[in-house]
Amino acid sequence: MSKNSITKSNKPNKTHLIVGSGVLAAVATALQYLEIPSPVSFIALDFSDLPALLGAFAYGPVAGVLIELVKNIIHLAVSKSGYVGELSNFILGAVFTLTAGLIYQKGKTKKSAILGGVIGAAVMAIVSYPSNLFVVYPFYYNFMPKEAVLAVYQELFNVKSIEMAILIYNVPFTFIKGLISVVICALIYKPLRPFLKGRNK
């Protein structure tokens, strides 16, 4: 993505907006199945927020949120978390893409896109703390005792509580996950822009 690859322009026509958002939602759904294990066994890295971030920049922040919503609704069919995982994924992904998209709209430049992405990743990481602590983990405790969850973290870190474990592992992990999407977006947005915008150049 060069300095002028994201510039002020007219909105894409409705057809390209719908088709582009649909394709991005499909790609996001597929990427949600491709997980990379992390040192904490029940936490994995995926890149399903990347298409939503592209959509937020190309079509606006609402499109990014809708892409997040669609991918998680589809993923409900194979949910292994009683839909709690999908709810958390949607909340975090929506915060990420909405923040990034809103900041990008202020200037529609490469700088505002990267700034929006970084701030969006930071906000997502911050929100991940209460999301995990009060939504996701209490559900998991129905299947895995809290002490057993903590023990998994203690194999890696000297932590005394779940709160500390989430703070020193989950929050940075979520931030880095967001940054990876921002970097990839910066690399691929320019060649994808003609398709996303429905223009020849």
Name the amino acid, one letter, at 17.
Answer: L
pLDDT value for 29: 93
Partner residues linked to 37 by β-bridges: 44
pLDDT value for 148: 92
pLDDT value for 30: 94
| Alpha-carbon gap, residue 99 to 146, rounded angstroms | 33
Structural class in CATH, domain 14-197: mainly alpha
Which parts of the chain have pLDDT scores under 70? 1-12, 81, 199-201
Residue 156 and residue 172 in contact, taking contact as beta carbons nearer than 8 Å: no
SS3 state at 41:
coil
SS3 state at 45:
strand
- Report the predicted TM-score, pTM, of the whole model to 2 decimal places: 0.87
Helices (H), the chain: 14-33, 49-59, 61-75, 84-107, 110-131, 137-140, 146-154, 162-165, 171-197
pLDDT value for 199: 61
pLDDT value for 12: 62
- The number of CA neighbours under 13 Å toward the Cβ of 61 is 18
**Domain residue ranges in the chain:** 14-197
- Residue 81 CB partners (closer than 8 Å, separation 6+): 136, 139, 140
pLDDT value for 3: 45
